Structure formats: structure tokens, C-alpha cells
Structure 1
Amino acid sequence: MTTLAPSTTPAPVAAGRPPITDWRPEDPDFWAGTGAPIARRNLYVSIFAEHVGFSVWSLWSVLVLFLGPEYGIDPAGKFLLTAVPAALGAVLRLPYTLAVARFGGRNWTVVSALLLLVPAVPMTLLIEPGVSYATLMVLACLTGVGGGNFASSMANINLFFPDRLKGRALGLNAGGGNLGVPAVQLVGLAVLATAGAAYPRLVPGVYLPLIVLAALLGARRLDNVPGARNEPGALRAAARDPHTWVMSLLYVGTFGSFIGFGFAFGQVLQLQFHDRFPTPVDAAWLTFLGPLIGSLVRPLGGQLADRVGGARVTFWNFVAMAAGAALVLSAARDRSFPLYLAGFLALFVFSGIGNGSTYKMIPAIFRARAAAETALTGDREAAQRRARRLSGALIGIAGAVGASGGVLVNVAFRQSFLATGNADAAYLGFIGWYALCFGLTWAVYLRPGRRKLSGV
């Protein structure tokens, strides 16, 4: 969706450095002598800025643990507080992706970092007993701006690296961002263990200087790539392609599960095993484990997809996720905490692997199409240009739709606890969704006798 076009117009300059007037990452000589150091510098700053954005997005996964009886909020109300940031984050992903080419990657990184102050500052001032639930809902929704940072960061870093190195660079960028979820939970644990549950405002307060630092580093150390543009009509063309919606549904199952469970795990743990975790600090020391493991294994999904095929990895990954959800359901009914924890950690592991494998499937689908188109028309350059155009647009759409899975997970838990007093109905819903996903993967990409896209 965001591509490079030849340009001699200087990109706006970062303070203290000359502007980039020429950017040719696919040229080996240019890359070795000029491109690689610039790209690495931009990657490192981008990882930090995205990490802070993800942490702000995930703040309410921690803050709900601080909201004791004095706040007068029941479990259903707390699940809504963790659902609304996921909703706004999903909505913002597409416009944030487009903003990189429209305003420049450096410029938008600075703006998007400063926007994190919009929720963080009032949260630091207002969260205390007596604050209205409506105020908390507004503050929770505003943290969704951090969810958009992932999309713009990925779109920006994609411009800096040659095709042969994009996978590793985007994997590092995505993994560094995802680590913001366990990081903010560790911050919450530290506050709970030292200051106590009476001081939730300290958690967003910790991030105020980090937000400012991310904006300053962006202004001083990032660059705008000249010639970046949004492909006209790419989103419309991708939206008409059935693979867009198949992959979007699969991404709901992988990334949606990761972010949804990351937001909800601490609260669910305390509700399901309240006798074992009677206080927030008792639950908080475990909540970061799942998101941490899920973030760290994300590159493994891409590596496995490279070796044995993305569709095959994704299929078996969803089978494993269905088994993990079944284990969680069984353990919850039997009140077996060790099995419950093992099942939930398995869900985080396989959601992380699935994030990597589904992301790898998207360009593979269009590379296979480009090869088939080249065989028919002989115009390899046009076929590859169309493949890159549609692949970028599909990633943007799938990223936005996939993030909505975080909303669905939290709403499923809320409705299950409201209706039955436990999460069994939610777990059954997750098992059904993962079954749909592995069935869809098999039917579209693996079924014998079907004309398959080679290499997906």
C-alpha cells in the first residue's frame, strides 16, 4: 500500500543531518555504502517508539487490577475497560498506515508519540477512588492511539529495507513492539509490589518521560524517505480480493488472540482462581508471562513458514490453539490451576507463532500469483509491482481487522461471566473460532485436488 517512487525531492531533514535525497535500498552498492547504517538507525528508534506505543495501548490490562471495591466496578465493567482500547486501536491502524506516506515516517512517528500523552497525562491525574466510570471509559478508549503506532511503524520500516531483508527487520520491529505488553505489566507489578494498589496513577506516570523521549528520538534520529507514496486504489482492489478476508479472519485468530488474552489474562486469572489470587499483586506476577512468551516466539512462526510453508504452519498452529483452549476449559472446570496455566501459556505461544506464519503467508500469496501472471503475460516487472501493491494493502486491512479480535476476546469473557458466572462459554467460543480458522486454512490453501498457490 505504501511504496517507493523515484524522487529527487529532498525529504524533510532531521535536526543535525542532511536530508535524504536519494533512496535505493535494492541497489547493492548503495545499500552497502549508504543505506544500511541509515536503515538500522531508523529501525532501532522505531522499535523503541513502537514499544512505548504498545505499552500505552496495554495500560488497562494492568490498571483493572488496581480497581478494587472502592471504585464500584464489577467484572463485566472491567472487561469493557480492556475492550475499548482494542477497538480504537483497530480503527486507527489503516489511517496510521496511510499517514506515513502522507506526512513522512519521521514526522508521523513524532506526532504519534506525542499523541500518547493525550491518554497518559489525564490518567496520571484522574485515576483515584471516586472517579466516574464514564471518565474511565473515555481514558481507556483514548489509550487506543497506541494501537495505531504498530501499523505506521511497520509501514515506515518497510520503506527502509530491501526485499531480502524486510522479513527480519519487520520481525524485529513487530517483536519489539509486542514486548510492550509484558513490559507494562511488569511496570504494574513493580508499582503494586512497592507503592500498593492505591496508586494506579503511577503506572501511566512512569511512561510520561518515555513518551517524550520517543518523540525526541524520532525528531533527532529518524528520516523521511523521499518518494514514499500511497498506491491509489490499492485498498479498494485488495478489498475485492477474497484472500484479503480469508487472511483477515486468520489474523483475528492469531493477533486478535494475542492482544485480547494479553489484555484480559490477569483479570480472568483472578476471577477463575480468586482463592489462589485474592489480591491484584498475587495475579500480576503471572500476567506478563504469556505476552512475553508470545512476543518472543513470533519470529519462530516466520522461520517455520519459510521452511515448511506458511499455510501448513498456520493450519497446525490453529489445531494447537484449539487444543490449548480445550485444555483451559477442562482445567477451569476441574479447578486445576497448573493445567489452566499450561493451557493459557500454550495459547500465547501459538498465537505468537501464528502471528509470524500468517504474516508470511500474505506476500507468499501474491508472489505465487505474480509468478503465474508472468507465465501468462511475460511481463515480470508489472506482475511483481501489482503483487507488492496488493500485498501491502492486504497487510494494512488484515492488521486492522485482526486487532479487532482483541475486542471480541474481552467481550466474550464479559458476556460469559455475566451469563454464567464463569468463562466456560468464552472458551467454547474460542475453540469454535480456531476450528473455523484451521478448516478455512485447509479448504483454501491445503485441500487436495484444489488448484493451490504454490509456496504459500
Structure 2
Amino acid sequence: MTAPTTTARKGGRWIEQWDPEDETFWRETGRRTATRNLVFSILSEHIGFSLWSLWSVMVLFMGPEYGVDPAGKFFLVAIPTLVGGVLRVPYTFAVARFGGRNWTVVSAALLLVPAVAAAVVMEPGTSYTTFMVVAALTGVGGGNFASSMTNINSFYPLRKKGWALGLNAGGGNIGVPVIQLVGLLVIGTAGAAHPRIVLAVYIPLVVVAAVLAALFMDNLAPVRNDTGAVREAARDPHTWIMALLYVGSFGSFIGYSFAFGLVLQNQFDRTPLQAASLTFIGPLLGSLIRPIGGRLADTYGGARITLVNFAAMAAATLVVVYASAQRSLGIFLTGFIALFVLSGLGNGSTYKMIPGIFQAKAVARGLTGERAAAYGRRLSGAAMGLIGAVGAIGGLGINLAFREAFLTGHSGTPAFVSFLAFYALCSAVTWAVYLRGTRAAAPSAAAGDGAGTAGDGAQPAGTHDPQGRRQPAYADI
């Protein structure tokens, strides 16, 4: 395998040949190129997440003079979640249409729109409708995740995807606590009357991210726009099963991140400064641990890690329900921060499962080597956009559940009880679909066509049904 050839086409730098599954190619040149693209992808996604979660910070600046009640604030932080989730679908396809590097430049530059708009309207007297429109604009930051993950998925071999996707997503996710820390710094020094300082920090950073992506990233020519892959992924039930699980992991992470400060203010009577001093902790830990979730999934299998993780999230939710009912802030923070950590682990393990599932299906079809890898990349890349979109919209559900709970009962306890039931459902689905019967499947798979072991990220060959048709085995995804 020769080194990747970078050529100048209309629209930017293009690599014409790319085969990360070839170990010689990966060792000599592929890894270095992939790492460079990963670094600048993380930077752009990080800024995107920060702007996406901007209104979780702006509502902390909105005192009584803004005339917005708690229910209205929960709705403001929910709107970007909905818009970001919807945009993830076209953002996924934009990578193949325009090139990963080209779209990263465009998507980063688009972040200027919500940042500048927020700087203009963030003052008392602005109508609630205007705030809603400007909050909706920050949804473009949520779209960045889908295009970034689809792009990086194409750069890395299957055995490295869990770690690489975990780093990419974790580095992006950490944009949430970072902007919350910036908000805390502004409130603690300049006071709650100066929200525009937060925007003054981020507007130059948006420009830096776009320029660096243009200078140092690459487009992959082999990644073509493939509407057939999208249709095939949409018809595959595993796409929607994984979307459900991703609602439980990422939907929890982003929903809790946006709502944490408001919950502290309304349930535990914290001031904006007191709330801001605590809200960043959970998202920070959840972001930092996401790559570890991917690494554990690479080693032990994503389905196994995901099952244990959802069971632990249910246990942490029980702690939060108890603390919420008892109005114990210390126990509440312990349980809630545990939920953030576990949602981060689950984000890493569920996203590792996606390429593994489609690779297992390729092997079950009798494909081997690069043909199997190409099939897995093709469908997993298309599925990621759909799964990421549904997962993000799960964050909307969390914020609306909190809004309804505080509107009717002045407590978040009913919302947490509903989350507990959902985590139980996710645990049951993970076991039933991906782990039930895998003890018997794994030995026959290992004896099959040598697809590999869980340790190197390759997938088992599968088993056969009574009619002799090969079935995928998901024990080690």
C-alpha cells in the first residue's frame, strides 16, 4: 500500500487512496494523517458543543428583569437540543458531499451566526420570541457532532474506532463544561449583568477553529455520497435499536448538561453564582471519561459495557430520586454527577457498537478483508447520523420532562422516576438483542472464518439458523 496521495481539487485538499485496515499503510503513513485530522476535528467539535450549550449558561444571567419564568428557561435550553438533533442528519451526509475538511470549515464558520446573534439580543427587554429564535440558531453546534464523527469514523481502522471516536466525541463534549466555566468566571468577576463577555471569548475562537481546519485537515475521496447506504441503514432495525440506546446515554448527557443549573436553582434555591460553580463538574467528568468507555468497549465488547452501564445509571437515578424527595443537596450532587460519569461511559461504548454491528453483519454475509471493512464503514457512517440525531433529541425529552415536573409539582422527582424506567428499558433491550445467547455463539464464531477476537476489535463470524443461514454474532461488538 502506497502513502496517501493528497491532491488539490476544486474545494480543497483531497486524499485519493485510503485503506486504514492495511496494517503497513496504517503504521507508515495512515496513523499520522488520521491523528492530525482527529486533533483539528476535536477542536472544531469542541467549539460547536460550547455554542450548542450556550443557552444553558445564558439563562443563568437572566434575572427577574428579563421576565422569563423557570418553565420558560427550561424551554429555552430545550430548543437548541431539538434543532441540533434534526441538523445531525444533513450534517452527516455533508461529509460525503463536500469532503470532511471542507465541511468542517463551513460548519465551524456557521457558529458565528448564533454567537453574534446572542451578543446582540442578550439584554432585558428583549422579547421571549426573539430569545427562542436565537436559541434555535445555536442548534448548528449540535450538528457539528454528526459530521465530525462520520468523518473520523472513515479515517480509522475498526480496531481503533472505539478509542478514536471516544476521543473525538469526548473532546467535543468537554465544550459543555468549558463554556459553563467561562460563564462562572464572568458571573464571579464581572457579575450577572454582563453575559456578552462570554460571547466575546467565543467569537474569536470560532474563527480560529475554521482557519485551522482549512489549513491542516484533509478530505477523503473514497468517501462518496451514497444515498443507498442511508436507505439501507434506515431500514436496518439495529440503527433504531442503537438510536434508542443512544437516547439513554447521550440524550442523558446533553439533557442533564443543559438542565443542571436550572434544577439547582429551582429545587435547591441556589443563586446563579452557586449554580454555575457546580454545573460544570458533571459534564466535565462525563466528557473526560467518554474515551475510556470506548477503550473498555474495544477490550471487553461494547454490548457488555453498555449493559452494565445502564444498570449503574438506574442505580444512580434511585439515589437522585431519594435525594430529590429528601431535598438533600449533598446526596443529590453525588447521584447526579454519577449519572454524568456513567452517561459518558455509555456514550463511548454505544458508539463503539455501531461500526462493530455492521462489521459483524458484513462477516455474516460472507465478506472478508477490505470488502467487509468497506461495507461496515459505508453503513456505520450512514447510521451514525440517524443515531446521533435521535440521541440528541432525547436531550429535548429530558428538558421537557423537567419543565413539566417543575411546572406542575415544583420538583424534579417525577422526571427522575421516568428516567429510571427508561434506563431499565435500555438495559433489557441491550441484553435481549446483543447479549442473549452469545455464550454459545462466540465459540462457533471463533472457529469460523477467523474474523478475530474482541481484543483487537474484529468481529465474530456468526452462527447459523436452522435453515443454514449465517446470522451475525454480536458478543464482542
- Asked if TM exceeds 0.5, the reply is yes
Supply the distance in 2 between the matched residues of 1:282 and 1:8 (Cα, whole angstroms): 54
> Relative to 1, partners in 2 of residues 1:407 and 1:51: Cα closer, same or farther, differing over 3 Å?
same
Match of 1:262 among 257, 260, 276: 257
CA contact 1:368–1:454 (8 Å) conserved in 2: no
Aligned to 1:213: 208
Secondary structure class of the residue paired with 1:404: helix
Aligned to 1:295: 287
Residue 205 of structure 1 deviates from its aligned partner by 2.2
Q: Please, what TM-score do these two structures have when normalized by structure 2?
A: 0.87
Match of 1:156 among 151, 171, 179: 151
Aligned to 1:359: 351
- Pairs within 5 Å for 1:16-55: 20-55=15-50
Residue 39 of structure 1 deviates from its aligned partner by 2.5
Supply the distance in 2 between the matched residues of 1:403 and 1:72 (Cα, whole angstroms): 29
Match of 2:7 among 7, 10, 34: 10
CA contact 1:8–1:226 (8 Å) conserved in 2: no
Match of 1:125 among 120, 128, 131: 120
Supply the distance in 2 between the matched residues of 1:267 and 1:361 (Cα, whole angstroms): 33
Supply the distance in 1 between the matched residues of 2:215 and 2:437 (Cα, whole angstroms): 54
> Relative to 1, partners in 2 of residues 1:127 and 1:62: Cα closer, same or farther, differing over 3 Å?
same
- Pairs within 5 Å for 1:57-456: 57-274=52-269, 277=270, 279-374=271-366, 382-448=371-437, 453-456=474-477
> Relative to 1, partners in 2 of residues 1:34 and 1:441: Cα closer, same or farther, differing over 3 Å?
closer
Supply the distance in 2 between the matched residues of 1:37 and 1:454 (Cα, whole angstroms): 31
Secondary structure class of the residue paired with 1:211: helix
Supply the distance in 1 between the matched residues of 2:314 and 2:20 (Cα, whole angstroms): 42
Which structure 1 segments of 5+ residues have no match?
A: 1-6
Which structure 2 segments of 5+ residues have no match?
A: 442-472
CA contact 2:303–2:475 (8 Å) conserved in 1: no
CA contact 1:321–1:434 (8 Å) conserved in 2: yes
Name the aligned partner's letter for residue 275 of structure 2. Answer: A
Supply the distance in 2 between the matched residues of 1:379 and 1:226 (Cα, whole angstroms): 23
> Relative to 1, partners in 2 of residues 1:391 and 1:42: Cα closer, same or farther, differing over 3 Å?
closer
Residue 136 of structure 1 deviates from its aligned partner by 0.5
> Relative to 1, partners in 2 of residues 1:101 and 1:14: Cα closer, same or farther, differing over 3 Å?
closer
CA deviation profile, 1:393-427 (whole Å, cap 9, x unmatched): 22221111111111001000001111111111101
Supply the distance in 2 between the matched residues of 1:357 and 1:93 (Cα, whole angstroms): 20
> Relative to 1, partners in 2 of residues 1:32 and 1:368: Cα closer, same or farther, differing over 3 Å?
closer
Supply the distance in 2 between the matched residues of 1:282 and 1:310 (Cα, whole angstroms): 37
Aligned to 1:4: none
CA deviation profile, 1:143-179 (whole Å, cap 9, x unmatched): 0100011111122222333344333322221111011
Farther off after superposition, 286-295 or 326-335? 326-335
Greater RCO structure (CA 8 Å; 6+ sep): 1
Supply the distance in 2 between the matched residues of 1:311 and 1:225 (Cα, whole angstroms): 30
Residue 441 of structure 1 deviates from its aligned partner by 1.4
CA contact 1:14–1:223 (8 Å) conserved in 2: no
Overall identity of the aligned pairs, in % = 61
Supply the distance in 1 between the matched residues of 2:26 and 2:346 (Cα, whole angstroms): 31
CA contact 2:293–2:348 (8 Å) conserved in 1: yes
Supply the distance in 2 between the matched residues of 1:25 and 1:429 (Cα, whole angstroms): 43
Farther off after superposition, 29-38 or 330-339? 29-38
Farther off after superposition, 286-295 or 333-342? 333-342
Name the aligned partner's letter for residue 298 of structure 1. Answer: R
CA deviation profile, 1:351-403 (whole Å, cap 9, x unmatched): 011111111222222233333322xxx76665544333222222221111111
CA contact 1:11–1:226 (8 Å) conserved in 2: no
Supply the distance in 1 between the matched residues of 2:56 and 2:18 (Cα, whole angstroms): 41
CA contact 1:252–1:402 (8 Å) conserved in 2: yes
Name the aligned partner's letter for residue 391 of structure 1. Answer: S
Q: Aligned residue pairs: how many?
A: 442
> Relative to 1, partners in 2 of residues 1:24 and 1:440: Cα closer, same or farther, differing over 3 Å?
closer
> Relative to 1, partners in 2 of residues 1:310 and 1:25: Cα closer, same or farther, differing over 3 Å?
closer
